[in-house]
Amino acid sequence: MKKVKISGRVGLLGLAIGLLTGLSVATVPGDAGAWEPKKPVEFIIMAGKGGGADKAVRYMQNIIAKHKLSSKPFTPINKPGGTGAEALIYVKGAKDPDHTIMFTLNSFYTTPLRQPKIKVDISKFTPIGRMAEDTFLLWVHKDSGITNVKQFVKAAKAKGNAWIMAGTGKNSEDNLLTDFLNKAYGLNMKYVPYKGGGRVAKELAGKNANSTVNNPSEQLGFYQAGKTVPIAAFTPARLPLFADAPTFKELGKDFVYFMQRTVVGAPGMSKEAATYYRQLFAQIYGSDEWQGYMTKKSLQGGFITGDILMRYWLREKAVHKVMLQKMGALK
């Protein structure tokens, strides 16, 4: 790979050589008999463009292309409708399950629970690999002068229903965390849904919202520019990137919440195809790029796959069922 990069700098001739080298690498045949994609793979994203999930998929797509891990391209397709319902329905009914994979969030559990009408049973999906667990923090604008949860609670109480918490879609992860905060601290914040975490982060930075519960990757730019600041983390231990933000556990509220960033295969995917994708995503997980990405974006969690991943899903689904029942979203 290095050689290709350098030759590209030399000029057009170098570019042509680089292209040729690239082609020859791409045409090296794989193991005889092993399954490989026969056409472009649809990589469905359960969220809108520009959010954390979207960036992660495009990043993985680029790792695949850069290291030529697949002979066929991976095409990211955003299906953000209805907090992931659109994506779930699409993948459930995929006409070509061997070439349809999806990048999921926690709406993978919550949306089927909340919308039984869409008839999605997540245990029918094919577990490929959990790439990371994303973390959540509570963010406020720097100009608000709020630096800790105590001040936050005081300010939010004073404003009551006029305190705006921006989030991604009704009954999404952000909504769950908002409800937790409202209950735990006796607040009455108003939840306003927007399309995608990137948009939510912008609403806080532009002072159109009072607080958000964004993932680190979504707020990082505004944080570095000194516009927004995290005041607490929904993690078991403090995040290295935001060492000044205490965990809710430290503050006496035992609440830990992660968002899975997992690759799921369509129901009915063949065994051979599942094995191929598992190996592929294990390779991506192990790449320097992905590891660097995880550090930079403050992502956590190891790679899990197969039955272990399925058990993880079912456990998380049960946890979310209880949470949704508590907040009154489920009967």
Partner 1 sequence: MDILPLLLNGFAIAFEPLNLALIIGGCAIGLFIGAMPGLGSVNGVAILLPMTFLVPPTGAIIFLGAIYYGAMYGGAISSIMLGIPGASTAVATTFDGRPMAIKGEADKALIAAATASFVGGSVGVVLFTLFAPPLADVALTFGAPEIFALMLMAFATFIGLGTDDIPKTIFSIFIGLVFGAVGLDIISGEPRLIFGDIPGFYHGINFLVLAIGIYGIGEMLWTIEISKGNAMMSKATISVPRILNTLVELTRTWRTMLMGSFLGYFVGILPAAGATPGSLMAYGVAKTFAKDPETYGKGNIKGVVAPEAANNAASTGAMLPMLTLGIPGSPTTAILLGGMVIWGLEPGPMVFTDHPDFVWGFIASLYVANLFALLINIAFIPAFIAVLKMPFTILAPIIFVLCIVGGFVPTLDMHDVWLMLIFGIVGYFMRKLDYPMAPAVLAIVLGPLAEPALRQSLLISGGSFAIFFTRPYAGVIMAIAIALFVLPLIKIALDKYRRPKDG
Of 139, 291, 285, 290, the closest CA to residue 220 belongs to: 139
For residue 90, state whether it binds partner 1 (rule: CB under 8 A). Answer: yes
Number of C-beta neighbours around residue 286 at 10 A:
10
Choice from 99, 130, 227, 261 touching partner 1 (CB under 8 A): 227
Instruction: Output 15 or 282, the one with its CB closest to partner 1.
Output: 15
Q: Please, what is the minimum distance in Å from the beta carbon of residue 102 to partner 1?
A: 14
For residue 142, state whether it binds partner 1 (rule: CB under 8 A). Answer: no
**Rounded to whole angstroms, how far apart are CA atoms 79 and 48?**
7
Q: Where are the alpha helices (DSSP H) in 127-265?
A: 149-159, 173-185, 197-205, 216-224
Q: Please, what is the minimum distance in Å from the beta carbon of residue 19 to partner 1?
A: 7
Interacting residues of 252 by C-beta distance below 8 A, sequence separation 6+: none
Instruction: Output 114 or 130, the one with its CB closest to partner 1.
Output: 114
Torsion angle, alpha carbons of 205, 206, 211, 217, to 10:
-30
Decide: 299 and 293 in contact? Cβ < 8 Å: yes
Interacting residues of 201 by C-beta distance below 8 A, sequence separation 6+: 139, 212, 214, 218, 219, 222, 228
238 DSSP 8-state letter: -
The residues in 49-68 that bind partner 1, with binding defined as CB under 8 A, are 49-50, 54-55, 58-59, 61-63, 65-66
**Could you identify the residue written with the tokens 């409800």?**
179
**Rounded to whole angstroms, how far apart are CA atoms 70 and 279?**
11
Q: Please, what is the minimum distance in Å from the beta carbon of residue 192 to partner 1?
A: 5
Instruction: Output 208 or 270, the one with its CB closest to partner 1.
Output: 208
For residue 169, state whether it binds partner 1 (rule: CB under 8 A). Answer: yes
Of 103, 88, 165, the closest CA to residue 134 belongs to: 103
Number of residues that make up the chain:
331
Binding segment for partner 1 among 150-158, 161-169, 244-252, 257-265 (CB under 8 A)? 161-169
The residues in 181-200 that bind partner 1, with binding defined as CB under 8 A, are 190, 192-195, 198-199
Choice from 23, 25, 34, 77 touching partner 1 (CB under 8 A): 77
For residue 18, state whether it binds partner 1 (rule: CB under 8 A). Answer: yes
Number of residues that bind partner 1 (CB under 8 A): 66
Tokens for 1?
A: 């790979």
Binding segment for partner 1 among 5-13, 121-129, 309-317, 320-328 (CB under 8 A)? 5-13
130: β partners: 262, 304
Task: Point out which residues bind partner 1 (CB under 8 A).
Answer: 4-5, 8-9, 11-12, 15, 18-19, 22, 42, 49-50, 54-55, 58-59, 61-63, 65-66, 73, 75-77, 79-83, 85-86, 89-90, 93, 114-115, 161-162, 164, 169-171, 190, 192-195, 198-199, 201-203, 205-208, 220-222, 224-225, 227, 289, 296
